[in-house]
A and B are shown apart, each in its own frame.
Chain A
Amino acid sequence: MEEVPHDCPGVSSAQAGRGASCQGCPNQGICASGAGAAPDPAIEEIKERMKTVKHKILVLSGKGGVGKSTFSAHLAHGLAEDENTQVALLDIDICGPSIPKIMGLEGEQVHQSGSGWSPVFLEDNLGVMSVGFLLSSPDDAVIWRGPKKNGMIKQFLRDVDWGEVDYLIVDTPPGTSDEHLSAVQYLAAAHIDGAVIITTPQEVSLQDVRKEISFCHKVKLPIIGVVENMSSFTCPKCQESQIFPPTTGGAEVMCQDLKVPLLGKVPLDPRIGKSCDKGESFFAEVPDSPATLAYRSIIQRIQESCSLRQPKGENLVGS
């Protein structure tokens, strides 16, 4: 994986571990031994594991708190409503794993079987994995540096026995760092359908999201599209307000400028937050909210996009 070349010569360069700027780098020994130049065997192993996974979608945002986990969870719920569609939800936010709570699976444990780790099943056709399931207390902090987080992500991708899956949704933490690089790197041989990027309307969010789009281009990750979350709020007594004002035109203008599809806009509904807190599907709780309708339309577009990207020679199942 290419790093921005400032002073690090690069792990696969001839100077790896030997350059002046390598002094003091924690990976100096590894690089100097030449181990960095060899491809990670896990990449092939993950490719094998991913053979039974038809579509892989990364849910990204440069910005925190825009609704990635909420969206990932509801994308999973929405796809899994069809009993014939097998859905897997992988949470690679190692420091702040929200998926167990949002899916109502807090306190569940992961089991080991002969074929690997078993995900936690919410429904027969909806399996979930998160570092949250490996922690014994809700107060436990995962204070890990990058390499350890990468190791966990590698294990999630290589060792979890998902079985036959139509959609693997990968929920990520905010940013463009270790977790994101690792996910893309480890899945490199396994063909990712693309990224769904979440934002809120205001410029502070869009600024970070543009960087995320730039990241996707850099690592050649296709972009399925952008979702504008918390688009507007309707006061229960009177009318619409903009809580996060789109001071620079919101996601619509950004998508036009950067030529990426806008998949849809989801309005702010306080009941979404409540459902997430209770670990329930918002679709089940409030089926006729404008937010539910917006989500469903976006999920439909994602399914359509995935079926267009279907590799040749494989049958479409459950789409």
Chain B
Amino acid sequence: MEAAAEPGNLAGVRHIILVLSGKGGVGKSTISTELALALRHAGKKGKAVHQCDSGWVPVFVDQEQSISLMSVGFLLEKPDEAVVWRGPKKNALIKQFVSDVAWGQLDYLVVDTPPGTSDEHMAVVDALRPYSPLGALVVTTPQAVSVGDVRRELTFCKKVGLRVIGVVENMSGFVCPHCAECTNIFSRGGGEELARHAGVPFLGSVPLDPELTRSLEEGRDFIQGFPESPAFPALSCIAQKILNEAPVGLC
């Protein structure tokens, strides 16, 4: 029996998307960031987010306050400080992030996760269950070693009753900026094959673009700055598919 959604800090959030992978380093955080940017560009612009007295206030990315963030990174005194916590402590913080952050009115909440199928994943699925998340975006790279781990993540989703919105294949080919020769550095085809095997939608392939990496590191808006990039059409397409599934309507 599902607990009724408490009128807490997530009451004003329309759609919740978890970004998962069994594998590390496939681009979950990159895709989460780019998805947030793409949704912002394609969807409602300049949507104000209320600030609240009670609870933690998320950090706003931009002047218009259309994207806000919460991360343990903001709670560290020094950026190199290691968070050496065992499971229970991590679970407690995740619960706090869900219940104590004053998100206000949001169209989309994108939840970036670490690799694996352990404490953090169970904690966040449990904490978000009353709010009926839209589902999970599962990220992989094309090669078999990645797909091997991500298959297990898809099993996790099934076991915990989390719907899979689809699979994204990241780092799918590298187009050399000098000669436009496309090299499949991390192999190819694995993501599509995985989606087919698991019976879930394949949302698209995002190629490797060092400009994307660079712009992330420098905190620039890739979607705004690089519409010419080979990664741009793929990312926009993925965002559009999510928007089609979960429109926010007129306001």
Contacts and interface: CB of A to CB of B under 8 A. Distances in A.
Q: Is B a genuine binding partner of A?
A: yes
Interface of A: 3-4, 6, 8, 25-27, 62-66, 69, 94-96, 98, 101-102, 138-147, 149, 173-178, 180-181, 200, 202-204, 207, 210-215, 218-219, 233, 235-239, 241-245, 247-248, 268, 270, 273-274, 276-277
A237 B181 CA distance: 7
B36 to A, nearest CB: 16
A62 B179 CA distance: 35
Residue of B90, B144, B154, B218 with highest tally of chain A CB at under 10 A: B144
B41 interface: no
B217 A204 contact: yes
Q: Which of A69, A145, A242, A245 has the most CB of B within 10 A?
A: A145
A101 B179 contact: no
B116 A277 contact: no
A27 B154 CA distance: 30
Interface string B92-129: 00000000000000000000001111110110000000
B181 A63 contact: no
A267 to B, nearest CB: 11
B127 to A, nearest CB: 15
A173 B118 CA distance: 12
A96 B115 contact: yes
Contacts of A270: 183-187
A175 B178 CA distance: 36
Contacts of A211: 80-83
A25 B23 contact: no
B140 to A, nearest CB: 11
Given A141-B156, A210-B80, 20 more contacts: A69-B145, A96-B116, A98-B145, A139-B151, A141-B117, A141-B155, A144-B118, A174-B25, A204-B213, A211-B82, A212-B82, A213-B80, A215-B84, A218-B84, A241-B174, A243-B213, A270-B187, A274-B143, A274-B187, A277-B187
B40 interface: no
B88 A202 contact: no
Nearest to B93: A6
Nearest to B90: A177
Contacts of B156: 141, 143
Contacts of A203: 217
B24 A241 contact: no
A167 B7 CA distance: 56
Interface in B56-93: 79-90
A174 B118 contact: no
Interface in B1-16: none
Interface string B140-175: 010111001101111110011000000000000010
Contacts of A173: 24, 115-116
A247 B212 CA distance: 12
A70 to B, nearest CB: 8
Contacts of B84: 3-4, 176-177, 180-181, 215, 218-219
A142 B152 contact: yes
B17 interface: no
A181 B117 contact: no
A124 to B, nearest CB: 26
Nearest to A173: B116
Contacts of A6: 89
Which 6 residue pairs of A and B lie closest in terms of their CB atoms, listed nearest first? Answer: A65-B25, A64-B24, A146-B87, A277-B144, A95-B116, A141-B155
Contacts of B177: 241
A306 B145 CA distance: 30
Contacts of A237: 176, 179, 181
Central interface residue in A102, A140, A177, A207, by most chain B CB within 10 Å: A177
B115 A247 contact: no
Contact of B181 (A143, A218, A238): A238
Nearest to B214: A245
Contacts of A26: 88
A95 B119 CA distance: 11
Contact of A218 (B82, B87, B153, B185): B82
Contacts of A233: 174, 183, 185
A243 B159 CA distance: 36
- From A95, A101, A147, A236, residue with most partner B Cβ within 10 Å: A95
A17 to B, nearest CB: 13
B216 interface: yes
Given A98-B145, A98-B148, A177-B84, A63 B24 contact: yes
Contacts of A4: 83-85
B88 A27 contact: yes
A238 B176 CA distance: 9
B181 A236 contact: yes
A8 B115 CA distance: 26
Contact of B214 (A25, A247, A268, A277): A247
Nearest to B150: A96
Interface in B175-205: 176-179, 181, 183-187
Contact of B143 (A146, A178, A210, A273): A273
Contact of A235 (B22, B183, B187): B183
B216 A174 contact: no
Contacts of B153: 141
